[in-house]
Chains A and B, each alone.
Chain A
Amino acid sequence: GQNIDQPTEMTATEGAIVQINCTYQTSGFNGLFWYQQHAGEAPTFLSYNVLDGLEEKGRFSSFLSRSKGYSYLLLKELQMKDSASYLCAVLILTGGGNKLTFGTGTQLKVEL
């Protein structure tokens, strides 16, 4: 089966840097997505990693280590609007094609 773990909650200060970790145990790994979801709203795409290394996109960066089954999302210069849930989703190659499995999400609270 698949297992995706991420912390349930995190708190950080406005202007700071925060790292949200995601570990996974799965067979047929074929990539990892990060989504942001504000309360009561739809998830929105942040990043996709399939190769080891760091992908940077503005204030947000995502890192993947396939050998360690580990990813993190790095948020810099935190703003109050970054308070949201961050979902790690693992792409798994199955007989029927690619399947996306989500973690339970990390609720980030940004404080003054």
Chain B
Amino acid sequence: EAQVTQNPRYLITVTGKKLTVTCSQNMNHEYMSWYRQDPGLGLRQIYYSMNVEVTDKGDVPEGYKVSRKEKRNFPLILESPSPNQTSLYFCASSTGPPGTRNTEAFFGQGTRLTVV
């Protein structure tokens, strides 16, 4: 089954404690991205990756890191989480950058992160 898998689904952590949210896709997609979703603000892109070892900042990259060492995985790293990073996070993948008819994004199930 084609899917994007995020882990964990829920996480409560303390300020400053490094954490990683994993994202894996089994569709051999080249393009992957991370979003955060906050009430009244919609989905905002954090980082994206066009292919292995190719990453770039989205709209709200501050406080986050990513890596793309292999095609299927795109982890999101919070080196020193702060309460303003409490949010619902989504990973997404597609065959290429958004813009052609067949590059709809497939989203993971989301990770609800609380930083206290």
- A residues sitting closer than 8 Å to B (CB atoms) are 30-31, 33, 40-45, 48, 87, 89, 91, 93, 96-105
- Per DSSP, are chain B's interface residues mostly helix, strand or loop, or mixed? loop
Which residue of chain A has its CB nearest to the CB of B107?
A42
Instruction: Give chain B's interface residue range (CB within 8 Å of chain A).
Output: 20 to 34
- B residues sitting closer than 8 Å to A (CB atoms) are 4, 35, 40-45, 50, 56, 58-59, 90, 97-99, 101, 104-110
Provide the residues of chain A in CB contact with B40, threshold 8 Å: 104
A98 touches B44 (CB 8 A): no
> Do A102 and B44 form a contact, CB below 8 Å, given A41-B109, A42-B110, A97-B50?
yes
19 contacts between A and B (CB under 8 A): A30-B99, A31-B98, A33-B104, A42-B4, A42-B90, A43-B43, A45-B105, A48-B101, A48-B104, A87-B42, A87-B43, A89-B43, A91-B98, A97-B97, A98-B97, A98-B98, A100-B105, A104-B40, A105-B42
